[in-house]
A and B are shown apart, each in its own frame.
Chain A
């Protein structure tokens, strides 16, 4: 079956522009996570959705970052007025429900964002 998909796979933008990253989770998965991985660093938690509500937004690094989710499907992560330090791979993961064991969490391939 289809896994988690993300688009675009690569995005190059100029400093100051807004970007929108998209995640399509596995059908039926209610839990959705966004992470980012900057060069040489681990995955950094950004936000968690349960359905279309976000009980934990604590990882969003600044108010330039926002995310929304439509029902239990597509999520978009928006970065306004991009800065060079926003350059990273942005990863989305979904699971059937919140699962602290991680066993049912499936990751997408990521969007590689480069801010010039």
Chain B
């Protein structure tokens, strides 16, 4: 039972354009949503997060949007740069537990 789903395994975007990575979830007990970035042979690194009481959080080129009614999360990267090429995981923390539930990842390729 995949509670956090990233339905696009890969995405290619031209440098300078917007990258939009999507994530859907099923569990209404999630209270924080996170995005991580992973380069080959390295562990994931934290990118940005959003509380379930907000609908937008912005950090430089990265913005996360949360649509609670649709149980949908998206990460926007503007403008996209070749160094953004990586696998992006969305994750959610479960209220009153210590768990994080991760999606399967989307591989982003930014073309120069």
Name A's B-contacting residues (CB within 8 A).
4, 33, 35, 40-45, 48, 50, 55-56, 58-59, 91, 93, 98, 100-110
Contacts and interface: CB of A to CB of B under 8 A. Distances in A.
Contacts of B45: 106-107
B104 to A, nearest CB: 4
Nearest to A102: B34
Contacts of A109: 41-43
A105 B49 CA distance: 12
A45 B91 CA distance: 11
B104 A108 contact: no
B98 A55 contact: yes
Interface string B67-101: 00000000000000000000001010100011111
Interface residues of B, number: 27
Contact of B99 (A42, A48, A50, A108): A48
A4 B99 contact: no
A110 B43 contact: yes
Contact of B103 (A42, A50, A104, A107): A42
Contacts of A42: 2, 4, 6, 89, 101-105
B11 to A, nearest CB: 17
Contacts of B105: 42
